[in-house]
């Protein structure tokens, strides 16, 4: 089968663009990206290791948002067989400058590299909101441009607020060997989040004691290994709910949950709605009258 390379722009206006990027790991363009055309933030659906050149390699997966400056290129390394499947949101330069000035008044607005970091962790509400917006825009070309633009600005705010939260306070030096240890653990969890894997097996795989792995992982990611794995499972469930005909029980079992009830409880804790409500929102493909999205927006303000 021919290796896939696809980039589709689903929505564009004077302020924002929304697109989908899909690239198989055996495609010639996979190892090195083309220059980015927009200032944008990306939400990966599948795990891939990213090398930007000015920061250490990081694992881009559904637990993070990646930030790219216009004209920037980056290297990719495959994690598993899925390649790079991501959804992206491009934003006008002037809008980016103003958003950054709110948080970093001394930002150099003449520079090409405006975003101060390559990626940040994101909360469940932000991940859910961008997926809902993407699904609606993909299926509903007559969507209200004003509404889409405002939600993208909200997403930009939430991503940058997360950067501030994770970078705030006195910086604690992180040794490269500790960061590499965590990256290896993230690679493993990204590939095997739907499996049952023991803590000692993870530690053995990355060459660390259980105590050292747990302490270092929690310090660098801000999450326990269990929280990180469960987050990957639940964010993966959004794709399986929207893009398959499987029952919710099938989705639950396939992702490693004990049963439908276990999955529903975890989903509600993470996204504050039931899986069936999310599926209904995606099937209606409309913002108006969908209480689930209204509630998500209310939590995002």
Contact 62, 127 (CB under 8 A): yes
Cβ density class 26-37: b for 16+ within 10 Å, e for less: ebeebeebeebe
The whole-number average pLDDT for the span 8-33 is 94
At the second CATH level, the architecture of 5-167 is Sandwich (2.60)
What the block records as the tokens of 246 is: 């499987």
pLDDT at 291 (0 to 100): 43
What the block records as the tokens of 161 is: 């607020």
The whole-number average pLDDT for the span 76-85 is 92
pLDDT in tens, 240-297: 998 777 899 999 999 999 999 999 999 999 999 999 988 887 755 455 434 444 555 5
- Residue 301: pLDDT band with limits 50, 70, 90: very low
Query: What is the domain partition of the chain in residue ranges?
Result: 5-167, 176-300
Is this model's pTM higher than 0.85 or not?
A: yes
Mean pLDDT of the chain: 88
Whether the per-residue pLDDT at 167 is higher than 70: the answer is no
What is the topology classification, in CATH, of domain 176-300?
Answer: Arc Repressor Mutant, subunit A (1.10.10)
Region of poorest pLDDT, from 100-104, 113-117, 123-127, 162-166: 162-166
pLDDT at 297 (0 to 100): 53
The whole-number average pLDDT for the span 221-241 is 95
pLDDT at 172 (0 to 100): 54
CA dihedral of residues 106, 155, 6, 141 (deg, nearest 10) = -130
């Amino acid at each position: 089968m021919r290796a896939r390379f696809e980039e589709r722009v689903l929505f564009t206006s004077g302020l924002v663009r929304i697109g989908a990027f899909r690239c198989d790991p055996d495609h010639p363009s996979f190892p090195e990206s083309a220059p980015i055309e927009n200032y944008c933030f990306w939400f990966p659906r599948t795990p891939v290791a990213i090398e930007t050149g000015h920061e250490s390699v990081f694992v881009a997966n559904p637990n993070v948002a990646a930030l790219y400056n216009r004209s920037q290129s980056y290297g990719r390394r495959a994690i598993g067989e899925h390649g790079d499947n991501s959804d992206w949101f491009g934003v006008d330069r002037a809008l980016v400058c103003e958003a950054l000035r709110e948080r970093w008044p001394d930002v150099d607005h003449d520079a090409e590299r405006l975003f101060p970091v390559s990626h940040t962790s994101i909360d469940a509400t932000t991940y859910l909101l961008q997926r809902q917006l993407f699904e609606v825009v993909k299926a509903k070309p007559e969507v209200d441009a004003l509404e889409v633009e405002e939600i993208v600005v909200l997403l930009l705010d939430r991503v940058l607020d997360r950067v501030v939260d994770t970078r705030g306070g006195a910086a604690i030096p992180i040794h490269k060997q500790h960061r590499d240890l965590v990256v290896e653990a993230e690679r493993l969890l990204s590939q095997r989040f739907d499996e049952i894997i023991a803590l000692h097996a993870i530690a053995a795989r990355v060459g660390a004691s259980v105590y050292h792995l747990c302490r270092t992982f929690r310090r660098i990611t801000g999450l326990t290994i269990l929280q990180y794995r469960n987050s990957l499972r639940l964010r993966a469930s959004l794709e399986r709910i929207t893009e398959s005909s499987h029952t919710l029980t099938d989705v639950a079992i396939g992702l490693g949950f004990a049963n439908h009830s276990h999955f529903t409880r975890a989903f509600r804790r993470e996204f504050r709605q039931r899986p069936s409500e999310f599926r209904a929102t995606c099937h209606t493909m409309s913002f108006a009258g969908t209480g689930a999205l209204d509630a998500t927006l209310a939590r995002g303000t």
